[in-house]
Amino acid sequence: MTRYYTRVCNFYYGAKSKILVEKNKSLPLHGIKEISFNQIEIITRKSKKIVSINQINKLSHSLKKKINSDLKKITSRKKSFCNLKFNAIPNLLGVLNLTPDSFSDGGKFNKKVKAIQHAIYLFNSGANLIDIGGESTRPGSKPINEKLEWSRINKILKLLSKKIPISLDTRKSNIMKKGIQLGVKLINDVSGLEYDPETTNVLKHNNTPFVLQHSQGRPENMQNNPFYKNELLDIYDFFEKKLKFLRSIGINHNKIIIDPGIGFGKNLKHNMNLIKNISIFHSLGFPILVGNSRKRFIKDISKKNDSKLRIGGTVASTIYMMTQGVQILRVHDVNEIMQGIKVYKEITKN
């Protein structure tokens, strides 16, 4: 039986979008008039076909039923949680690496005073949450033991969780448990809950919101010739299967965020295809997060190697994904990204 996927496309943003929605010429994404679309791409493993929204009723009964079911998820408004508000401006997850070896800022903020100052700076610059991590998962990195990871983040978490909303970047269930006890609002596990089998039990027991990220392989080997039959559809299928499993074990809340995992077991072609077609993941019915900040794809395209000089590529990819309805961006340079977002939004305002 042919498997069909629905990707909304031909987006409008800002004032033009509002006008088209009011004239019933486009559909609002997540119930937001400032972002809308008037076409869908119907995808199978062997074909692609773009149709306008007014042609859906001309499709076969079974296909029409499938697409209308997807459109219901795509157009439904998302409820706020974890200080994340889902509207026309994407939420920002500010990165705070308390590590000596992260790919772009290792060792820069792993001292207590600098870490706290930077977290507050990121929050005041416009971050909705500060994503704190004590273990580097950059390509080629090796896992560290739980004791070392906790020693890096423990004191900072205790101090910051009382002042600002915190997301915890960890793959380990005991670290998650301790972080939740300290008031962490969101768990961000780059392994897609695959690294530690106990993580799902911790999240279920505490009813904690979390990011479900796709990753092929582990950091130490994930960039060794990653392969997919079709990266876009393979990753979509991963999410669908994982979400079904999570429901089956009793995680029934909708405070789940989908992250396709740019750079985690993907080459330039994979990353570009995911970014260009990111809107396919709206039909899963959950908010989308993308970690595009200072990633290698920017270096590969621009031919600039220094990861500290990738703000331009980060801003460009952020603006594109904002116009595709991506609700959360995980970024290092919150002030600069927020500036770019505000300027673009003002330009499209009238």
102 has a pLDDT exceeding 50: no
**Residues 184-201: pLDDT tens digits?**
999 999 999 999 999 999
In degrees rounded to 5, what are phi and psi of residue 244?
Answer: -65, -40
106 confidence band (pLDDT: 50, 70, 90): very low
Average pLDDT over residues 97-124: 76
- The mean pLDDT of 269-287, rounded to a whole number, is 98
330 part of the active site? yes
Show me where the domains of the chain are located: 5-75, 91-347
- Name the β-bridge partners of 52: 39
Give the active site residue among 66, 78, 266, 330: 330
Domain 91-347 is in which class? alpha beta
**3 counts as catalytic:** no
End-to-end CA distance of the chain: 47
Q: Which residues contact 328 (CB under 8 A, 6 or more apart)?
A: 84, 90, 91, 92, 93, 128, 257, 287, 288, 289, 290
- Choosing from 185, 295, 296, 310, which is the catalytic residue? 295
